[in-house]
Chain A
Amino acid sequence: MKYVDEYRDGEKARGIAAAIAAEVRPERSYAFMEFCGGHTHAISRYGIEDLLPKNVRMIHGPGCPVCVLPIGRIDDAIRLAKRPEVTLCTYADLMRVPASSGLSLMKAKAAGADIRMIYSSLDAIRIAEANPDRQVVFFAIGFETTTPPTAVALKTAEAKGLTNFSIYCNHVLTPVAMRAILDMPPTPDEPPIAIEGFVGPSHVSTIIGMEPYQVFARDYRKPVVIAGFEPLDVMYAILMLVRQVNEQRADVENQYIRAVRTEGNPVAIDLCDEVFELRDSFEWRGLGAVPKSALKLRDAYGFYDAEKRFAIETQPAEDNPACECGAILRGQKKPADCRLFGTVCTPETPTGACMVSSEGACAAHWTYGRFRTRQTDAGLRRSA
């Protein structure tokens, strides 16, 4: 596959691995967070951990939109879908996210709710056009990457004069969440997070560009290397981070020059500005309420806002108290540290959201990497 295989080349990988091994200082350790679930997935799927020196640790960040969505918002979507007049359109990986009372969108669908899995926000528009007697709600989630397509869907609905289409908006913002992680006060029972740098988002950065990360380099002295989602991209970004740490630099660098421009995508940014505005606060799974971290539709587009059309009041919902998703999303614990991991919580019967999406840290470790912690299974797991 042209333009893909080049970035998965095993020989080049060994070359970069050798460079990393040669440049890391043996007397110290390195801890970097890959914020994005896409990077977590690449690291697990290609076995990148096996190519890194023992003293380079990757911390899996919360950049998985399915994982950070609080249960209350899924409960809302299920309530919406159960309304007889509503057809709910959702991306497939939300279907199995556990909600309150043992429910999920998949179970609601099996019980009769009209829920359609779609691949593109414009599929929801097509469904609305084809079913004028149905109220079609698009369950919009994601970071800055999926926000512009939601805006396009809204503008398309407006241009077509669709009155039976609305958006349940759950779009969230990457840099604000990165900051929330760095600002998190240490808790008595969880080790402090020692992130020395970030592998910066791939697709998100194609939209927002490089500027929004400057704050981390300037104010927090944390290097950021924006990287593509292919495994060689990730390896090279890690090498660039090691170099910055060794040289005591903290810069925003761009490894993903084939897609990310300094200024991002101004057309997409302008469109999103026109359609969305900041929420005062939004609940993140694992991070809690984070001010100015999510988007809602502007009043001018309130007609398309499902929260207004259906008077949705999100009720807070409790996570399973034994679930360590929060600490895992903050990078304070590893999936195998959780007592539920691989016992009651598997991708088939997920307890926490990190086990649902293939981009979640627990699902990635379970699906691709659990052979690494096999010797620590049974009671030994806790002490590993």
Chain B
Amino acid sequence: MTKTFRRKLDLKSGRVDMSHGAGGRAMAELISSIFKDAFGNELLEQGNDQASFPTPAGGRMVMTTDGYVVSPIFFPGGDIGSLAVHGTVNDLAMAGARPLYLSASYIIEEGFPLGDLKRIADSMGAAAKAAGVMIVTGDTKVVERGKADGVFISTAGVGVVPDGLMLSGDRARPGDKLIVSGSMGDHGVAIMSSRENLTFETEILSDSAALNGLVETMVATAGPHLRLMRDPTRGGLAATLNELAHQSRVGFRIVEDRIPIKRQVAAACELLGLDPLNVANEGKLVAVVAAEAAETLVAAMRSHPLGGDAAIIGEVVEDDQHFVQMTTGFGGGRIVDWLAGEQLPRIC
């Protein structure tokens, strides 16, 4: 089998371009050649959106960190403050953890309206309260006008994992079922619709939401049968499935007609020439579960307000090339691939 040749980063004269932040292969290359090299350790090597480790006192903890640069700061269905809480909580919850504490670091541009800052902080506080986590430490920096764009937020979060639960992106096995918790692409389309250069009328709200409650339900229903969970954010379902296929060294076979997509989202994507499977979500998860527990799990998810459209969309198969293959609604077959290059910068 030929390996796809990786062109090495040009560290002498190369520069960061927008594709390095798009969640695709270019970003993976940047992380592996620069950050993994510099930081390398076995916890980082887990390759998940959070690190999971035993605590000296016993039990397992997870820790995650995330940066938020979304533009616009206020969008239909949320804002940068609530998004920062949801994104961080979800990264913890995807390890099956109960999220506990968050930090919040604000980088604010000179001239930013205080009223907007208050609105963002209030929204962040309310989101934390609703998710049952506390923001226990923070930092504030102000930079000169033009050196940032309004406000950027970075967070960290920690949580504890129930005893005996072990979820990780490398645990999918052939025969397992693949589940999504709801409709794909809502967040990305909501952001696009609110950007001034892409104005069109739509009722789509971002799906930004904290998923720890749904995850608790899932763990209670199918705990030992759960292999992994991940939230399909940047790069959408397509990027997430490709990451997981490589991490677990398997392939996926999915069925297009089973993937929930709202009609309005499909229509907006059609107009913009986007594939909803590449569009970001902020309140959805992908789960891989042992086949025997799949139906029960989906039924339990559907009883939760954030899992009403949960569906089994496919299964894990053996595949040494780690392809994500899809039977199209039209009846043919195709690959669902990472999107090359940049689709939409600053989606989260």
Contact = CB atoms under 8 A, between A and B. Distances in A.
Contact of B197 (A14, A110, A123): A123
Q: Which among B3, B26, B29, B334 has the highest number of chain A CB atoms within 10 Å?
A: B334
Nearest to B267: A1
Interface stretch (A43-51, A147-155, A203-211, A327-335): A43-51
B146 interface: no
B68 interface: no
A47 B328 contact: yes
Contacts of A51: 330-332
Interface string B16-36: 111100001110010000000
B330 A13 contact: yes
Given A348-B24, A348-B25, A107 B15 contact: yes
B130 interface: no
Given A95-B341, A368-B337, A348 B332 contact: no
Contacts of A370: 323, 335
Contact of A48 (B321, B332, B340): B332
A231 interface: yes
B118 interface: no
Contacts of A50: 331-333
Interface stretch (A162-170, A217-225, A338-346): A338-346
B4 A342 contact: yes
Contact of A8 (B18, B29, B330, B341): B330
Nearest to A374: B321
Interface residues of A, number: 44
A219 to B, nearest CB: 35
A291 B18 CA distance: 38
Q: Which among B197, B266, B321 has the highest number of chain A CB atoms within 10 Å?
A: B197
A8 to B, nearest CB: 6
Interface in B253-305: 257, 263, 266-267, 270
A378 interface: yes
Contact of A231 (B257, B263, B321, B330): B330
A287 to B, nearest CB: 25
Contacts of B270: 1, 4
B4 A47 contact: no
Given A107-B15, A110-B17, A111-B15, A377 B1 contact: yes
Interface string A55-99: 000000000000000000000000000000000000000011000
Interface string A283-306: 000000000000000000000000
B15 A10 contact: no
A366 B335 CA distance: 9
B39 interface: no
Nearest to A342: B4
Contacts of A95: 341
Contacts of B19: 96, 106, 348
Contacts of B18: 106, 109-110
Interface string A2-19: 001000111001100100
Interface in B296-348: 321, 323, 325, 327-335, 337, 340-341
A371 B322 CA distance: 10
A210 B43 CA distance: 63
Contact of A368 (B15, B267, B335): B335
A50 B326 CA distance: 12
Contact of A10 (B267, B330, B337): B330
B341 A343 contact: no
Contacts, number: 108
B12 interface: no
Nearest to B238: A367
Contact of B17 (A49, A107, A347, A369): A107
Interface in A340-371: 342-344, 346-349, 363, 366-371
A231 B340 CA distance: 23
Contacts of A231: 330
Given A1-B266, A50-B332, A348-B25, A343 B337 contact: no
Contact of A1 (B17, B197, B263, B332): B263
Contacts of B333: 47, 50, 371
Contacts of A347: 340-341
Contact of A366 (B5, B257, B328, B337): B337
A377 B329 CA distance: 28
Interface in B182-197: 197
Contacts of B198: 119
Contacts of B257: 10
Interface string B189-225: 0000000011000000000000000000000000000
Interface in A98-148: 106-107, 109-111, 119, 123
B86 to A, nearest CB: 29
B279 to A, nearest CB: 15
A204 to B, nearest CB: 17
B326 to A, nearest CB: 8
Contacts of B147: none
A13 B331 contact: yes
B268 to A, nearest CB: 10
B143 to A, nearest CB: 20
A46 B332 contact: yes
Given A343-B2, A347-B341, A10 B335 contact: no
B206 to A, nearest CB: 21
Contacts of B327: 47
B147 to A, nearest CB: 16
B17 A371 contact: no
A276 to B, nearest CB: 26
25 contacts: A1-B267, A8-B329, A10-B331, A13-B330, A45-B334, A46-B332, A46-B334, A47-B334, A50-B333, A95-B341, A107-B17, A111-B15, A119-B197, A123-B197, A231-B330, A342-B2, A343-B3, A347-B340, A348-B29, A366-B337, A367-B337, A367-B340, A371-B323, A377-B321, A381-B2
Given A1-B270, A4-B270, A46-B328, 7 more contacts: A4-B267, A45-B334, A342-B4, A343-B3, A346-B25, A348-B29, A368-B337
